[in-house]
Structure 1
């Protein structure tokens, strides 16, 4: 959020509540930062105002958004994700969750409220859509097509099983019939794209065959879909905001027991997120991988193995600066084959570096040692470049 604030100007989203202002041109080509509303909003100087923006999510998202607009003076692109899907499951009768604190409140009230709090466009409060729940998915389409606004994104919080080969055809058919832009959020414990071998290809197919699709609350899949024609995307600042879990489940963690939590760090050369504790162990006896982003300035990536807030903010800033640089680089290529080829070549180069980095740090080829290529990255590096 690097734009300077002029106190004489009101933020653009607060100038008007006009629902006829179309969402598509305001969001086109952007990769947004998905942040949790429990934190006090603050400027992220590494975000490019022309190519990025912010999504605030959670129970206090509307209040935090208004604070970001009025107290902080942020004038960039902003979405409010109330995360209705975290507590509500869509049904054939009620696919959207209306505001719970108002009697007879409607979905339109929810959309208007988001705009009044500073949102650039409004997200429908769609409930979680379970695997193969065709009636709920079709109900989203039915009710969404009744919305007479141009400023709306239809949120599609779907279980990743919708991207399996048994379900992808129906998902594409329904999405194509929704006349508003759509914002997909994938559900599953851990990385949804690792749940089945065909998920990365089918996600790409969805975004290739249906226009005006967005992918929110994700990881580097944001860049893959953007390279393949997505309207926009959103990358979670923390691992918990890079996917979602069904309302009746508790988040699982990769290790047992409690204790402090540490940041997950984006590795620039390997194009993967890695836990700070794991990096500290892997680089314990060798020189660590370094980063030249403006936050790191050539320092090692093993330095984030601390639980304090300053360290986490520094790790977040590094990660944001890294993928923001990639977004800027992508924007320099023409949309279509040229951009897709650039992305595939970048992923291929990253895959090739795994063996070199493991050799450098003295790790063997065992699947339990060293750095392992994430399955989605391997898929992006090998899937054909379609025209």
Structure 2
């Protein structure tokens, strides 16, 4: 898994992306119900790429000191052995590493975090990743140092997933601080932080293939009813490093869309994804474009990556201004708040000097 940017997808949508992955630098994180069964099916179908399964138990339950892994701890006790060990072995039958089913760590849930870490330490299995789904407040000064202290106590691989409503600048700074304190931690279910994290010392990361895979919604007693889906797929506009609905792109470009050179598009214009009938080719475009970023990132020396990534983000901000001047529409292309957050995040002096 080292130095990979995986693609995090809903388990039922894996087929849309698997053909566009760079096997040498990426892979899949199958997420949600049915992920383990889908992993087995993919392996039977010949998929030999990097593979993880995230059962996403944090979507439905918080971790507590008594039940840090609620999907296991709140159920019937097994006749023998540790239920966590049994589940991790089931994952390892198909996945390269096993992600713990840790519940959501609400603000201040220190006892739950320590209890989960203690259980993972007892397993003492280097193939088990301590998955830590934390509320965004854990990345604030003070809590992030405590989080790092607990993570340092777990010898094996670790990965963080961030939930709630993080402030973009604070979230980027907090993630960078955590990776400075605990180099090698994975970053899952992320957006631009998947790339930003790898430039700041993450061991591996996962970029969410759609918006729901790029953040965690904290578990609540009652989920809000869905208001229906969009009329067109979300499409990555690589030059602006952000996603827009296909219909929005068609309206903004007004017949003058740029050609896309990714493996899926091969020179076709970027405004053609105007209905949900284009979901599969849109997914292929998104994955192919992300793989270009992965290859570019991995071609940069480790010490130079943070400076390189900040420059990429600044170029995307500049491109947004250029495109908005070109299309002369209100509203124009709005940029994600994550983009200026990573563009403006300071780079440690040693890395900047090395890059210069």
The question of a shared fold, defined as TM-score above 0.5 by the shorter chain, is answered with yes
Distance in 1 (alpha carbons) for counterparts of 2:168 and 2:18: 35
For residues 71-112 of structure 1, the C-alpha deviation after alignment (integer angstroms, 9 at most, x for no partner) is x11111111111121222100112123545873561001101
Q: Any residues of structure 2 matched to 1:127-276 within 5 Å, and which? A: 127-188=103-164, 192-193=165-166, 195=167, 197-248=169-220, 257-258=227-228, 260-276=230-246
- Work out whether 1:348 is the aligned partner of 2:288: no
Question: Shift of residue 213 of structure 1?
Answer: 0.6
Cα 1:164/1:312, change in 2 over 3 Å:
same
**CA gap 1:359/1:251 in 2 versus in 1, 3 angstroms:** farther
Any stretches of 5+ residues in structure 1 without a counterpart? Answer: 1-26
8 Å CA contact retained: 1:59, 1:82: yes
Note if contact 2:126-2:157 (Cα within 8 Å) is conserved in structure 1: no
| Corresponding residue SS for 2:276 | coil
* Structure number with higher relative contact order (C-alpha < 8 Å, ≥ 6 residues apart): 2
Residue of structure 2 in register with 1:13 after alignment? none
In 2, Cα distance between the equivalents of 1:260 and 1:275?
8
**Over aligned residue pairs, what C-alpha RMSD do you find?**
2.2
Please, which moves more after superposition, 43-52 or 96-105? 96-105
For the 8 Å contact 1:41–1:67, the answer to whether it is kept is no
Deviations 1:91-145 (CA, angstroms, capped at 9, x unpaired): 01121235458735610011011112x1111111111111222221222222222
TM-score, length of structure 1 as denominator length? 0.83
Q: Compare the two structures and name the one with the higher helix fraction.
A: 2
User: After the TM superposition, which segments of 4 or more aligned residues of structure 1 sit over 6 Å from their partners?
Assistant: 249-253
Q: Is the Cα contact below 8 Å between 2:7 and 2:206 reproduced in 1?
A: yes
Q: CA 1:294/1:360 → structure 2, altered by over 3 Å: closer, same or farther? A: same
Secondary structure of the structure 2 residue equivalent to 1:91: coil
Q: Which of the numbers 295, 311, 325 marks the counterpart of 2:292?
A: 325
TM (normalized to structure 2)? 0.90
Structure 1: how far apart are the matches of 2:250 and 2:26? Answer: 31
Separation in structure 2 between the aligned mates of residue 73 and residue 375 of structure 1, nearest angstrom: 40
Report how many residues are paired.
Answer: 345
Q: Which digits, 9 at most, give the CA deviation of each residue in 1:20-61, with x for residues without a partner?
A: xxxxxxx10011111212346466222111101111111211
Structure 1 residue aligned with 2:250: 280
1:227-263 Cα offsets, whole Å, 9 max, x none, are 111110111222111112122167779xx94365432
Query: Unaligned stretches of 5+ in structure 2?
Result: 352-356
